[in-house]
């Protein structure tokens, strides 16, 4: 008997009634690499330095993922997860202004539609979501969600994050620390909070690639060198949590968001660009440019190695998709911590990446025309679930999936979430975004 029919008989009956297959070819791994660009990936693959992305390309397809301006990560990653435009999903950027004019983070409560994990979970399949943007507070799902607030929280300090945020923003301790009554849960089910905290103590590296910034942070960028190493630790931590969820739950859909390439590229991108694109005051000696270029390329190698670890749990019959929200270009942005010299402001950076492989997908092919709106419909089709007629995207042309009669919409019924938000935690994250130039 088919595995999904045995676990979820009502799903099988529903899918049969809709005219589609009752079983997907396999599970789905969806990895989001913020800011990853083929401008670096292509030459690094040619040099044999990204073996895991190269293997996906050899066994599957690769090409650009067409994005949509303005190239703000929260907008795009929510479109990827919903197949809806910003006007419908409601996440316009990193922050919104409250009634007093104070910047407040967009949260999962601001998303007006069902996301991919809600849809798949509602169909009775199991999901695992790690660090995806705007997942705080986490939704109650069949599976596990570790929100995008938990990982920075665990990495900043051995202190409880609410306590750390309070001391960081209010060093005179004029405001009391958060009491247990105001505890914020960053994971669903709540017991995953303790499990993630335990994973923070792991001392065995996931990859053989050591932090490329640890010894040269000051030379790489004396103003925000610490941020570079923090990105390394955050991405590794996200992958570690995802591996734990995959081992324990074996979800039908595992979604992991790794933001480090974007953050590192903001700082080091000028090292791989033509120097004439920058004013003379920002040009550096060739040896320093080479050092920074090697660090950025090494970070791509590190993320490729993390992708390799995530791939270990997925076989040839499973669908693997690695995508990014946009590329990178030369920009100059003055922020409180220094000058950022890489960005994504114009159409030159509008293409993200797409790597995909799985049963029935062609081998070694280049595909064009896939957009950020097509990711969710493609995953749904692979899992044998119907696409919503109100979704803007379509099933990707490279995907070999039996069609399922579409439904009018998946935005039916309320989304249950865990409660609890603390403005001091938000303040600390907003400050981080401000240091990156994401928030003014």
102-111, 151-160, 330-339: which is most confident: 102-111
Would 305 be classed as within a structural domain? Answer: yes
Q: Which residue has the tokens 């088919």?
A: 2
Q: Between 269 and 54, where is the model more confident?
A: 54
CATH of the domain at 237: 3.40.720.10
**pLDDT tens across 326-381, in order?**
999 878 665 555 566 677 877 788 899 999 999 999 999 999 999 999 999 999 99
- Domain count across the chain: 1
How large a percentage of the chain has pLDDT more than 90?
56
Whether residue 22 has pLDDT greater than 50: no
Structure tokens, 214: 């640890």
pLDDT of residue 331: 82
**pLDDT tens across 375-418, in order?**
999 999 999 999 999 999 999 999 987 778 999 999 999 999 98
**Which is nearest to 95 in space by CA: 110, 81, 82, 85?**
110
Q: How confident is the model at residue 21 (pLDDT cuts 50, 70, 90)?
A: very low
Would 124 be classed as within a structural domain? Answer: yes
Q: Which helix (H) or strand (E) holds 162?
A: helix 161-169
Whether residue 2 has pLDDT greater than 50: no
Would 348 be classed as within a structural domain? Answer: yes
Average pLDDT, the chain: 83
CA dihedral 408, 414, 420, 424 (to 10 degrees): 40
Would 142 be classed as within a structural domain? Answer: yes
Measure CA 334 to chain center: 26
Q: How confident is the model at residue 315 (pLDDT cuts 50, 70, 90)?
A: very high
CB 91 within 8 A of CB 74: yes
Range with the lowest mean pLDDT among 55-59, 82-86, 179-183, 401-405?
179-183
Would 377 be classed as within a structural domain? Answer: no
Would 128 be classed as within a structural domain? Answer: yes
Would 378 be classed as within a structural domain? Answer: no
**Which is nearest to 207 in space by CA: 78, 308, 356?**
308
Would 202 be classed as within a structural domain? Answer: yes
**pLDDT tens across 218-265, in order?**
566 656 666 788 889 899 999 999 999 999 999 999 999 999 999 899
Q: Between 309 and 101, where is the model more confident?
A: 309
Give the structural domain span for 285. Answer: 3-372+384-435
> How far is residue 105's CA from residue 108's CA, in Å, rounded to a whole number?
10
């Amino acid at each position: 008997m088919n595995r999904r029919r045995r676990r979820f008989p009502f799903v099988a009956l529903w899918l049969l009634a809709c005219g589609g297959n009752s079983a997907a070819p396999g599970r789905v791994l969806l990895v989001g690499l913020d800011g990853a660009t083929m401008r670096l990936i292509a030459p690094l693959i040619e040099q044999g330095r990204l073996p895991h992305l190269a293997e996906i390309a050899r066994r599957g397809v690769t090409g650009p993922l067409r994005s949509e301006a303005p190239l703000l990560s929260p907008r795009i990653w929510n479109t990827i997860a919903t197949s809806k435009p910003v006007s419908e999903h409601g996440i316009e950027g990193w922050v919104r202004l409250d009634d007093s004019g104070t910047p407040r983070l967009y949260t999962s409560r601001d998303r007006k539609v069902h996301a991919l994990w809600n849809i798949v979970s509602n169909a009775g399949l199991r999901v695992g979501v790690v660090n995806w943007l705007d997942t705080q507070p986490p939704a109650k799902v069949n599976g596990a969600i570790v929100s995008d607030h938990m990982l920075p929280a665990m990495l900043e300090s051995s202190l409880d994050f609410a306590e750390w945020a309070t001391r960081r923003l209010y060093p005179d301790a004029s405001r009391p620390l958060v009491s247990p009554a105001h505890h914020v849960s960053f994971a669903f089910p709540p017991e995953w909070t303790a499990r993630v905290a335990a994973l923070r103590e792991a001392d065995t590296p996931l990859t053989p690639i050591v932090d490329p910034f640890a010894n040269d942070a000051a030379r790489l960028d004396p103003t925000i060198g610490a941020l570079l190493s923090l990105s390394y630790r955050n991405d590794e931590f996200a992958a570690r949590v995802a591996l734990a969820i995959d081992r324990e739950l074996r979800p039908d859909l595992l979604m992991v968001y790794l933001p480090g390439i974007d953050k590192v590229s903001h700082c080091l991108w000028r090292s791989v660009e033509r120097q004439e694109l920058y004013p003379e005051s920002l040009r550096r000696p060739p040896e320093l440019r080479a050092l920074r270029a090697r660090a950025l390329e090494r970070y791509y190698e590190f993320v490729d190695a993390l992708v390799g670890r995530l791939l270990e749990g997925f076989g040839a019959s499973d669908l693997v998709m690695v995508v990014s929200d946009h590329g990178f270009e030369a920009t100059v942005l003055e922020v409180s911590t220094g000058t950022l010299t890489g960005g994504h402001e114009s159409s030159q950076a509008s293409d993200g990446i797409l790597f995909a492989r799985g049963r029935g997908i062609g081998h070694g092919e280049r595909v064009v025309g896939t957009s950020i709106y097509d990711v969710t419909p493609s995953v749904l089709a692979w899992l044998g679930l119907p696409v919503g007629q109100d979704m803007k995207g379509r099933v990707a042309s490279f995907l070999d999936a039996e069609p399922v009669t579409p439904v009018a919409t998946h935005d039916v019924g309320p989304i249950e979430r865990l409660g609890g938000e603390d403005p001091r935690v938000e303040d600390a994250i907003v400050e981080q975004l401000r240091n990156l130039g994401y928030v003014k």
